[in-house]
Amino acid sequence: MRQKLVEFRNVSFRYDDDGPWILNDCSFTIYENQSVAIIGHNGSGKSTIAKLMNGLLFPQKGQILIDGKEVNAQTIWDIRKDVGMVFQNPDNQFVGTTVQDDVAFGMENRGIAREEMMKRIEDTLTAVGMQHKRLSEPHRLSGGQKQRVAIASVLAISPKLLILDEATAMLDPKGRQSIMKTVSHLHEQDVMSLVSITHDLEEVMMAEWVIVMNQGEIWAEGTPRDIFTRKDAFHKIGLDIPFVGKLTEALRRADVSITEEPLNHEELLEALWTFHSKT
Amino acid sequence: MDISFKNVSYTYQPNSPFAHQALDDVSFSIPSGTYVAVIGHTGSGKSTLIQHLNGLLRPTTGTVTIGDFVMSRTDKPKDMKALRSRVGVVFQYPEHQLFEETIAKDIAFGPKNFGVSDDVIKQRIDDILPTVGIHHDMLERSPFELSGGQMRRVAIAGVLAIKPEVLVLDEPTAGLDPRGQRDVMDMFYSLHKKEKMTTVLVTHNMEDAVKYADHIIILNQGKKYLEGKPETIFSDEDTLQQVQLDVPEVIQFLWKYEQKFGHSIPYNRQSITDIAQAIKEHIKEVGNDE
Amino acid sequence: MSNSLIIGQYVPGQSIVHRLDPRTKIIMIFFFVFIVFFANSVPSYSILAFFAFGSIVLSRIPFRFILKGLTPIWFLIGFTFLLHIIITREGAVLVDLVVLKIYSGGLIQGFAISLRFFLLILVTSLLTLTTTPIEITDAIETLLNPLKKVKFPVHELALMMSISLRFIPTLMQEMDKISKAQASRGVDFRTGPIKERAKAIVPLLVPLFVSAFKRAEDLAMAMEARGYQGGEGRTKLRILRISGRDWVALFLFAVVLAGLFATRHYS
């Protein structure tokens, strides 16, 4: 049984005392070394969840536990060591004037010795494939490169959880690919949980567990296969389904029976092969 | 208006240590009324190309012709404003250009600069609002109170209010959620159909290019790499993979289908339902043969 | 955008001037700014010019590039020159245009002041051309360190400077984008009466401020998420080291200083 890392217990949140609830009675658990995708359209409350996880916001109701510690004003500095975050806009989180300065920023804040910093900069930049740009300035980097640096800066403090808050939303396909490759590579190697808040269906398919948000509530939870079986309901809350799902649906409508929900091209082709052998 | 690029090159900061050639001998022509997609990675020269379309940049060498306007290193249209009133550009994240106190004023800003009378502007706003899905009641509100998606649509309305003959779209869906993306793209497509507007979509989204464009131009490192109809441009897998561009998923799937079943279903922008039907027919056929 | 203006731009390089400790360069320039005003004879000006041009040669930055980059400054230098010619009334009258008399003193004065001005600009732009802004910030931070004792927020100041420096190119790109977007909506920034052109600034500045505030908000959140709690207990990655070449440079500068005072008129 895997250890619990993040636990939301009946969490509700709103910005103003008389404003609308952004999150409404949300409970879920994320385990150690698990990769979770949180999806939902803009305004569904998914980014709020990310900010609650490392104490950038505090809930009005309910409890949030990270590695058994409750998130509150006293624990946030410890919790932020365990929870690293990469935000959407590559430019607005790049603090340093060069790549290595930016990676160092989080370590400097925690008083890590210079020699150790040098070592970790080397290691983490290598891990995200940015060591050749160690001395580059941010405005000479592409969006994808900046996001990889942001990931390296989080890795440098070796967190237990990495949150990607729509970290690929502003990137071009090449940048998005590079981030996804980097992240899945990291996830395989490290003992680290991963929460990715995203619209990108490809990212969702890569996750072990999916949480679907709608109007501040948890609308569904499950493996990607479970989730994408509920296509009609998905349309209703304004979310897109992947191409494979759409084609499967169209095939079923054309009386081509596909029993198990395929997740990728290969699975769908396999299912078609089975169907074709039966006819 | 017809658009033509003849051997166009553009160099930023020439004769300096920062000199950078963004366009290299690019030639193409876009007949009036077409929907063209220009595809390329960041840094392929896409945004430099856009800026040539309404005279924000003039070629270092070569000639750009937009209708009667001719631009080269030496030639500059006498009336740049006239050109810009006929070529509307929706830049990336257009909501960043909002600045007026009210939504109405911001939409009116462009046409006003081009000397359109207040009555006509009012009429145009009335026409545009339903298209972009902004409610009339909101006109007197500040654009900064809106949600991201609404701000985007107000900014787009500000460009449409100029009533351009050519509409240039630079990644118009960047940063929107899937529903917002679909809405915005469908809106531009129906405008293109209804108003016969020449539309230039600059994007790295192959799916959109295939879905909407009549003609595709692929740029790579400042050069024109490929050009053709969406149905044919994807015939050569290797050529596309060399520039690391994503082939639309439907085409990738049909390729794999062909490999697995030894039967090719040609892609001509049919709907998913039609593809499912074609697959079904093929499978049934094979089944009957055996 | 500002294709030609080079002040504040850094040109990467490995020359001896690039590799000097930024504190050395700042101290030298600090003194240079003062001693320029002590030059008053042909030899003393020559020594300063020799120092300035010598440094440029050593920096291996093409001289033509620097001169071209100073184009906007030429106007100021020319203006200074003319102003002195017009207002100085010393020496012999060289030209008499009834309304305006040009005196030899004015010519000399104008020439001397323009030369000083030119040398100052040359040397300070050489600092920014060969030193990354962050090196300059670090140097200022260390040079100001003693002020910490009197509760002067040296760390905060340095961080503010480094963040501003980091965002200058970003905001320049942003301004470029906004001005192009507004130009496409018919704003004319270049021609027309002054009043109209001043009005054209509004559609440029409002979006720029809006986005700068948004960026500041995002950045503050990102910094907090990365554990920033102020200067207490922080370590630093970047450290400055004075090496042999710095001592050599300072020594040579002292020689220039001595030469200047030796060749000065004491009248």
pLDDT score recorded for residue A22: 93
pLDDT score recorded for residue C108: 87
In whole angstroms, give the CA distance from residue B117 to residue B123: 10
Residues 64-83 of chain C whose Cβ lies under 8 A from any Cβ of chain B = 65, 68
In whole angstroms, give the CA distance from residue C77 to residue C74: 5
In whole angstroms, give the CA distance from residue C87 to residue A229: 87
Strands A4-13 and A61-66: antiparallel
pLDDT band at B108 (very low <50, low <70, confident <90, very high): very high
In whole angstroms, give the CA distance from residue C36 to residue C47: 10
- Residue of chain B whose alpha carbon sits nearest to that of C200: B113
Query: Mean pLDDT over all residues of chain B?
Result: 90
pLDDT score recorded for residue A29: 96
Q: Which of C114, C131, C182 is nearest to C7 (CA)?
A: C131
DSSP character at residue C137: H
A neighbours by CB contacts (3+ pairs under 8 Å): B, C
Q: Which residue has the higher pLDDT, B79 or A86?
A: A86
Say whether B97 and C207 touch across the interface (CB within 8 A).
Answer: yes
Cβ count near B17 (within 10 Å): 12
In whole angstroms, give the CA distance from residue B169 to residue B171: 6
Enumerate the residues of chain C whose CB falls inside 8 A of the CB of residue A100: 237
In whole angstroms, give the CA distance from residue C84 to residue C171: 38
Say whether B109 and C211 touch across the interface (CB within 8 A).
Answer: no
Q: Which of B228, B211, B217, B176 is nearest to B44 (CA)?
A: B217
Domain range list for chain A: 4-241
pLDDT score recorded for residue C2: 41
The reply to whether A104 touches chain C by the CB within 8 Å rule is yes
Q: Is the pLDDT of residue C174 over 70?
A: yes
Say whether B277 and A254 touch across the interface (CB within 8 A).
Answer: yes
- Residue of chain C whose alpha carbon sits nearest to that of B12: C3
Q: Is the pLDDT of residue C3 over 60?
A: no
Say whether C3 and B110 touch across the interface (CB within 8 A).
Answer: no
Q: What is the mean pLDDT of residues A256-273?
A: 89
Cβ–Cβ < 8 Å for A193, A30? yes
Q: What is the pLDDT of residues A152-161, one digit of tens each?
A: 999 999 999 9
Enumerate the residues of chain A whose CB falls inside 8 A of the CB of residue C169: 137-139
Q: Which of C241, C230, C207 is nearest to C160 (CA)?
A: C230
Which tokens is B218 given? 């692929």
Say whether B17 and C11 touch across the interface (CB within 8 A).
Answer: yes
For domain B3-245, say whether CATH 3.40.50.300 is its number.
Answer: yes
Q: What is the mean pLDDT of residues B207-220?
A: 92
Type and span of the H or E element at A28: strand A23-31
In whole angstroms, give the CA distance from residue C55 to residue C26: 14
Q: Is the pLDDT of residue C254 over 80?
A: yes
Cβ–Cβ < 8 Å for B87, B65? no
Q: Is the pLDDT of residue B98 over 90?
A: yes
For residue C38, give Cα distances in angstroms to B113, C5, C108: 54, 29, 15
Domain A4-241 carries which CATH code? 3.40.50.300
pLDDT score recorded for residue C1: 37
The reply to whether A255 touches chain B by the CB within 8 Å rule is yes
For residue A212, give Cα distances in angstroms to A52, A233, C7, C198, C246: 17, 11, 52, 50, 61
In whole angstroms, give the CA distance from residue C156 to residue A197: 33
In whole angstroms, give the CA distance from residue B66 to residue B50: 12
Residue B77 makes CB contacts below 8 A (sequence gap 6+) with B55, B69, B70, B71, B83
Say whether C203 and B99 touch across the interface (CB within 8 A).
Answer: yes
Cβ–Cβ < 8 Å for C229, A77? yes
Q: What is the pLDDT of residues B133-147, one digit of tens each?
A: 999 999 999 999 998
Q: What is the mean pLDDT of residues A192-213?
A: 91
Query: C36 to chain B, minimum CA–CA distance in Å?
Result: 30
Q: Is the pLDDT of residue B10 over 90?
A: yes
**Dihedral angle computed from the Cα positions of residues C166, A88, A159 and A174, in that order, rounded to the nearest 10 degrees:** -90
Residue of A43, A256, A265 with shortest CB distance to B280: A256
Residues 140-159 of chain B whose Cβ lies under 8 A from any Cβ of chain A = 147-149
Q: What is the mean pLDDT of residues B25-41?
A: 94
pLDDT score recorded for residue C5: 54
Q: What is the mean pLDDT of residues C18-34?
A: 93
The reply to whether A43 touches chain B by the CB within 8 Å rule is yes
CB pairs < 8 Å spanning A and B = 90
In whole angstroms, give the CA distance from residue B166 to residue B199: 6
pLDDT score recorded for residue B287: 65
Three-class DSSP category at A38:
strand
For residue B134, give Cα distances in angstroms to B119, B141, B180: 20, 12, 13
pLDDT band at A132 (very low <50, low <70, confident <90, very high): very high
In whole angstroms, give the CA distance from residue C144 to residue B150: 48
User: CA-based angle A43:A45:A50, to the nearest 5?
Assistant: 130
Which tokens is A1 given? 């049984």
Q: What is the pLDDT of residues C50-90, one digit of tens each?
A: 999 999 999 998 888 888 778 778 888 888 888 888 888 88
Query: A20 to chain B, minimum CA–CA distance in Å?
Result: 15
The reply to whether B16 touches chain A by the CB within 8 Å rule is no
Query: A192 to chain C, minimum CA–CA distance in Å?
Result: 17
Three-class DSSP category at B95:
helix
pLDDT score recorded for residue A1: 62
Cβ–Cβ < 8 Å for B197, B165? yes
Query: Mapped to the 3 state alphabet, what secondary structure does A195-234 carry?
Result: EEECCCHHHHHHCCEEEEEECCEEEEEECHHHHHHCHHHH
Residue with tokens 């006239």: B82
ipTM of this complex? 0.88
Strand segments, DSSP code E, in chain A are 4-13, 23-31, 35-39, 61-66, 69-70, 83-86, 161-165, 193-197, 209-214, 217-222
Q: What is the pLDDT of residues B147-202, one digit of tens each?
A: 888 999 999 999 999 999 999 999 999 888 888 888 999 999 999 999 899 999 99
> Residue B76's beta-bridge partner residues?
none
A26 φ/ψ angles, rounded to the nearest 5 degrees? -95, 130
Say whether C228 and A101 touch across the interface (CB within 8 A).
Answer: no
Enumerate the residues of chain A whose CB falls inside 8 A of the CB of residue B283: 256, 272, 275-276, 279
Question: Alpha helices of A66-112 — where are they, by DSSP H?
Answer: 76-82, 99-109
Type and span of the H or E element at A62: strand A61-66
Q: What is the pLDDT of residues B62-74, one digit of tens each?
A: 999 999 999 999 8
- Give the orientation angle of helix B249-261 with respect to helix A265-278, to 10 degrees: 40
pLDDT score recorded for residue C107: 86
Query: C160 to chain A, minimum CA–CA distance in Å?
Result: 11
Mutation site, B283, B285, B290, interface A, largest A CB count within 10 A: B283
Judge residue C16's burial from the number of C-beta atoms within 10 Å of its C-beta, 0-12 exposed, 13-18 middle, 19 or more buried: middle
pLDDT score recorded for residue A36: 96
Q: What is the mean pLDDT of residues A93-119?
A: 93
pLDDT score recorded for residue C70: 80
Looking at chain A, the whole-number percentage of residues with pLDDT higher than 90 is 63
**A69-70, strands of its sheet edge to edge:** A23-31, A4-13, A61-66, A69-70
pLDDT band at A202 (very low <50, low <70, confident <90, very high): confident
